[in-house]
Amino acid sequence: MQLTDKKNVKALLLTATTTLLGTASVQAAETKADEWQFDTALMYYGETDRVTAVEAIIAGSKQFGNDEILSLKLTVDTLTGASANGAVAQNTPQTFTRPSGKGQYQIKAGETPLDDTFKDTRLQLTGQWTQPLTERDIWSIGGNLSKEYDYFSAAINSNIARDFNKKNTTVSAGVSFAFDQIDPEGGIPNAFHTMLIGDVDSSNFASDFDATRKESGDDKTTVDLLLGLTQVINRNMLVQLNYSYSASSGYMTDPFKVLSVVDQQGISQTYLYENRPDSRKKHAFFGQVKYHFDTTILDTSYRYMMDDWEIDSHTVDTKYIIPLANGHTIEPHFRFYTQTAAEFYKPFLLEGQVIPQFASADYRIGEMDAMTIGMKYGIPLSDGEHLSFRIAYYQQSPKSDGTQAVGQLNDLELYSKVDAIMAQISYSF
C-alpha cells in the first residue's frame, strides 16, 4: 500500500471511530493521523449444523507526548443459526414454540433439539485511556458499550500498576463494574412455566402465550476485581500471575432454554422454562509463563476457576511462535478445557418429582471437556505492517454428570459433541 493511501485509510478510520464515540476524542482526531496504530481482524466461527458467527474488529491506539495511550476499539458481529434448547432427543418427532411466541419448529426423531431462531447483530465500542502517574505508577480508565437486538451492556473499569525492582516486578489492581440488560422478543418466561404448545393460529394463542411470561425485560450487575503480578525471571523468561473475583447479581437465567419432563419410559411430557440463581460469585487463578528460546517463544497459561454454582474449571493454553527463514512466523496453538457441572444442572426432570428451586439443562453449564487445535501464520510487511492468518478447530464434548438415563433416553444421544471451525485474517498498520 502507498504511504499516502495508508494515511488516508487511517484518517478515515479515525474519523469513523471518533464519530461513533462522540466528542471524547476530538482532540485526538486533530493530531497527525499517521501516529495511530491500527489492528483489524475478521473472524468466521462456524459450528456443524449450529451457530455461524462473523466478527470484525477495528482497534486503534495512539501514544501521546507524555506516554499517555488512547485505545479505541469497534467490534461488529453477526450471529445466525441454531442452538440447543435444552430439551432431550426423543424416538418421535417433537414440536416446540419459538421463544418469541411467533410460530413453532419441529425436531426429527433421534435428533438433539436445536432452536434455529437465533439471528442477531452486535455492535461494541471500547475505549481505554492509560497514563503514567509517577515514574513507576501507571493508571488506566476505560469503558465498554455493547448493543444487540435484545441485549445491552455497559461497563467501566479502572486499573493501577506499580513497577518495582528495576521494573522486573509489576503489581497491578483493577476493578470493573458492568450493567447488562436483556429484553427478549416475546418477553421473559416465568420460571418453570410449561412451554405452551398448541395451535399457534388459534385466536387465543397469543394471549395464552403472554400469560406464561413477564412483559418486561430484566437485568444484572457484575463487579470484577483483578489483582496481577508480572515478574521477569531472567533474560528469557517472564511470569504473570492473576487472581480475579467476580460477583454477579440479577437475571442469569437463559430465557431461551427449557428442560424436558420425562416419564419412567423417558417420554417427554412437557417442557419447562429453566431457572437459575440470581447470584454468582467466581474466583479465578491465572498463571502464564513466556519463555524465549534462542529464536522461538513458548507461551503457556493455566487458569483454575471455581464458583458458588459448583462449577470448577481448568484451562491450559499453549502457543509456540516459530520464526521461519524468510521472516514469516508459524504458530501452533493448543487449548484444553474441562469443567464440572453446576449443582443445578439437570439433563432432564422426572415426572412426579418435586421441581427443584433451580434447574437448567443448558449443556454449557454441564460437565464438559473442550479442545482447540490451531495454527497462525504471520507475514511482516514493509513499514511496520503485519498480516496474519489463523485457523482453529474447536470441539466440545459434553458428558453425563452421573444422572441415570431412563427408558428410551438410554438409547438416545443426550450429550452430543459440538464441532466448530474458526478462521481469522488480521492486518495491522
Partner 1 sequence: MKIISNQKVWLLIGVLSLSACSSLGVEPWERDKLAKKEMLPNSAPIDAALDDHIYFSKEASSGGRSFGGGGCGCN
Of residues 221-250, those binding partner 1 (CB under 8 A):
222, 224, 226-227, 229-236, 238-244, 246
Choices 7-15, 131-139, 263-271, 336-344 (CB under 8 A): range interacting with partner 1: 336-344
Q: Which of 130, 179, 174, 189 is nearest to 153 (CA)?
A: 179
Q: Which residues have C-beta within 8 Å of that of residue 193, sequence separation ≥ 6? A: 212, 213, 272, 273
Choices 6-14, 133-141, 199-207, 416-424 (CB under 8 A): range interacting with partner 1: 416-424
Given the complex with partner 1, which of 321 and 409 has the nearer CB atom? 321
Question: At closest approach, how far in Å is the CB of 309 from partner 1?
Answer: 7
Given the complex with partner 1, which of 238 and 267 has the nearer CB atom? 238
What is the maximum span of the chain, computed from C-alpha positions, in angstroms?
76
Q: Does 17 bind partner 1 (CB under 8 A)?
A: no
Dist. CA 173–CA 239, nearest whole Å: 17
Q: Does 299 bind partner 1 (CB under 8 A)?
A: yes
**Residue whose cell numbers read 492486518:** 427
DSSP-H helix ranges across 274-389: none
Question: At closest approach, how far in Å is the CB of 398 from partner 1?
Answer: 11
Question: At closest approach, how far in Å is the CB of 41 from partner 1?
Answer: 5
Question: At closest approach, how far in Å is the CB of 331 from partner 1?
Answer: 9
- What CA dihedral angle connects 423, 425, 426 and 429, to 10 degrees? 180
User: Quick one: cell of 102?
Assistant: 411467533
CA distances from 258 to 173, 286, 407 (A): 40, 34, 20
Choices 2-10, 17-25, 132-140, 149-157 (CB under 8 A): range interacting with partner 1: 149-157
Q: Does 274 bind partner 1 (CB under 8 A)?
A: no
Given the complex with partner 1, which of 238 and 406 has the nearer CB atom? 238
Question: At closest approach, how far in Å is the CB of 405 from partner 1?
Answer: 22
Among 102, 162, 193, 292, binds partner 1 (CB under 8 A): 292
Angle at 309 between CA 307 and CA 311, to 5 degrees: 60
Q: What does the per-residue mask of binding to partner 1 show for 73-112, with x meaning CB under 8 A?
A: x-x-x-x---x-----------------------------
Q: Does 339 bind partner 1 (CB under 8 A)?
A: yes
Choices 5-13, 195-203, 310-318, 406-414 (CB under 8 A): range interacting with partner 1: 310-318
Q: Does 370 bind partner 1 (CB under 8 A)?
A: yes
Dist. CA 79–CA 115, nearest whole Å: 13
Choices 1-9, 87-95, 133-141, 306-314 (CB under 8 A): range interacting with partner 1: 306-314
- What CA dihedral angle connects 371, 418, 118 and 148, to 10 degrees? 0
Choices 19-27, 192-200, 201-209, 282-290 (CB under 8 A): range interacting with partner 1: 282-290
User: Quick one: cell of 27?
Assistant: 482532540
Question: At closest approach, how far in Å is the CB of 222 from partner 1?
Answer: 7
Rule CB under 8 A: which of 34-73 touch partner 1?
A: 39, 41, 43, 45, 51, 55, 57, 59, 73
* Pairing label, strands 258-262, 349-350: parallel
User: Quick one: cell of 37?
Assistant: 496504530
Q: Which of 273, 355, 282, 336 is nearest to 312 (CA)?
A: 282
Question: Could you give the 3-state DSSP secondary structure of residue 380?
Answer: strand
Q: What stretch of H or E contains 14?
A: helix 3-20
